[in-house]
Amino acid sequence: MDLDMDSMAAAIGVSVPVLRFLLCFVATIPVGFFHRVVPSRLGKHIYAAGSGAILSFLSFGFSSNLHFLVPMLLSYSSMVLFRPYCGVLTFILGFVYLIGCHVYYMSGDAWKEGGIDATGALMVLTLKVISCAINYNDGLLKEEDLRESQKKNCLIKLPSLIEYFGYCLCCGSHFAGPVYEVKDYLDWTERTGIWAYTEKDLSPSPFGATIRAILQAALCMALYLYLAPNYPLSRFSDPIYQEWGFWRKLSYQYMSGFTARWKYYFIWSISEASIIISGLGFSGWTDTSPPKPRWDRAKNVDIIGVELAKSSVELPLVWNIQVSTWLRHYVYDRLVKKGKKPGFLQLLATQTTSAVWHGLYPGYIIFFVQSALMIAGSRVIYRWQQAIPPTKDVIKKIMVLMNFAYTLLVLNYSSVGFMLLSLHETLAAYGSVYYVGTILPVILVLLGKIINPAKPVRKARKEQ
């Protein structure tokens, strides 16, 4: 078996631990399918928790489940003992433990060099336990003090321990996301809400959507394996890179970011297939006649939307969608005081939270600060675009093209920090193209303070 693993790993250019993880990760698809036939609600919770724990053990070893138990038990204990403060307590304790694991395992370096450890799954678990605790905390608040998302997700009753473990370890999302709400998990398990059988006993078939996700995953992996050898990260520290001209360096940064994204597209497509086939990915019926099932609860990326984004503002809506939604509901919205509008500080705090969640590497911090600047600069271009009179359609189209080009340049420039991680390598790569992706957003933000056209009409705002 070891020889087989060695040869298989060598054939696709990965380490044996990574291959073991990939096999377990793909196994979440049949495991998700068999969840459909497990009898009784209790059985489904036990199956969800047990299958997640077993696959974690096979992927990362026994210690991984011990690591998962820490934030799970801290969160559950805070909900039992300190309900009025359980959200804040879990947020702080969960992130402190996650950061400690990031530092101890130096997970970013391991991932960068083709290794694997349990911190990726721990990242997803941390968001789950925090959202569960905050929603239980929200159950104490008056309805008029809650936002719509809070009303939808707040918990009045504490989930039982087995329900909670099933939610945390359900293997379809345990390894790489997407993050979903505990109320959705409970409704799915208990066949209530949108999962309740209707009078016509409509039971949507997941197989078509599952096959689409699997084919998408195969295409993404094939493209990544084809591109990756041609755009290694080691090239950034190669003397030959320094001999290139500005445009060639910039194009290499673009292709490096483009190549790396296909790895994430593959991972999220497998997760999507696993959650869809289990039934949890169902998100309701369309209004068409006849109605068709929608399977976008597990959707974590819109590939075309990322690669052809017209504005940086669109990126959080199409990349790592469920984590972006989590950050909006549990960080961004909660930093905005009632009756006030959000600003750059809320955006920066949200991006910083995302950076810390990924790990304390300078490259992550720089990337997410860059992201905040990138979005702020894109909003300036959009405001200018909307201020152009409808009679000057050509100029407006030029502004749209300008925002697209700006997003393309700054996104791939910024992503170099996310890939290289170290401060020295990141600054060297940015400096090799004269920090164009940092200077340009700053100039746009400053110009936005000077050239500040009248606010667009309501119809124009809706388009964004």
Rounded CA-CA distance 205/221 in Å is 26
- CA separation for the pair 67, 104 (Å, rounded): 12
Task: Tell me how far the alpha carbon of residue 322 is from its chain's centroid.
Answer: 6
The encoded tokens of residue 313 equal 């503002």
Secondary structure (H, E, C), 1-56: CHHHHHHHHHHHCCCHHHHHHHHHHHHHHHHHHHHCCCCCHHHHHHHHHHHHHHHH
| Residues annotated as part of the active site | 358
- The three-point CA angle 189-181-342 to 5° equals 165
Are 377 and 406 in contact, with CB atoms under 8 Å apart?
A: yes
Let me know how many helices (H) and strands (E) the chain has, helices first.
23, 2
Q: Which residues pair with 294 in a beta bridge?
A: 284
Do the beta carbons of residue 297 and residue 279 sit within 8 Å? no
3-class SS at 319? strand
| Cβ count near 376 (within 10 Å) | 20
User: What are the b/e assignments for 209-239, b being 16+ CB within 10 Å?
Assistant: bbeebbebbeebbebbeebbeebebeebeee
Secondary structure E strands in 36-152: none
Q: Cα dihedral sign for 46, 49, 50, 52?
A: positive
Residue with tokens 């910083």: 352
Element (H, E) at 306: helix 303-307
CA–CA distance, 429 with 363 (Å, rounded to integer): 11
Distance separating alpha carbons of residues 288 and 255, to the nearest angstrom: 41
Q: Are 132 and 155 in contact (CB under 8 A)?
A: yes
DSSP helix/strand/coil, 284: strand
Of how many residues is the chain composed? 464
Nearest to 378 by CA among 330, 443, 432, 333: 443
Report phi then psi at 255, rounded to 5: -70, -30
CA distance 376 to 342: 12
